Amino acid sequence: MEENKHSMEYRVWSMEGETQETNPHSRHTRYAIRDTSPSRHTPYAIRHTRAFTLIETMVAITLLTVAITAPMTLATKSLSTAYYARYTA
């Protein structure tokens, strides 16, 4: 029997992560049916996907820069103060 080109392949994803072939019209399916056919992205779907914006990325980079440079600056100042106190006493 020749398979129809436009038929969809359905798989059932079990709790263990294994896949099992099943009839999509069966009433006795225990798990959710997932369509694994190639997805067709519309321009609307591509534009509205969840992602980080430029502002969020810049804020994250700024916070990381401050979080790294502040302790390094404090450590440098404390080492120079300790060096100065050690050799002037």
pLDDT one-digit tens code per residue, 14-69? 444 544 555 555 555 555 566 566 566 666 666 666 788 999 999 999 999 999 99
Look at 5-14, 34-43, 72-81 and tell me which has the smallest mean pLDDT: 5-14
Instruction: Give the pLDDT score at 56.
Output: 95
**Using an 8 Å Cβ cutoff, are 8 and 35 in contact?**
yes
Residue 23 or residue 80, greater confidence: 80
The four Cα atoms 15, 21, 24, 30 give a dihedral, to 10 degrees, of: -30
Q: Which helix (H) or strand (E) holds 19?
A: strand 19-21
pTM score, whole prediction = 0.41
Residue 80 or residue 47, greater confidence: 80
User: Considering Cα of 10, then 14, then 19, then 22, what sign does the dihedral take?
Assistant: negative
Domains of the chain, by residue range, sit at 8-37, 50-89
What are the angstrom distances between the C-alpha of 39 and each of 8, 13, 32, 35, 45? 11, 18, 18, 9, 11
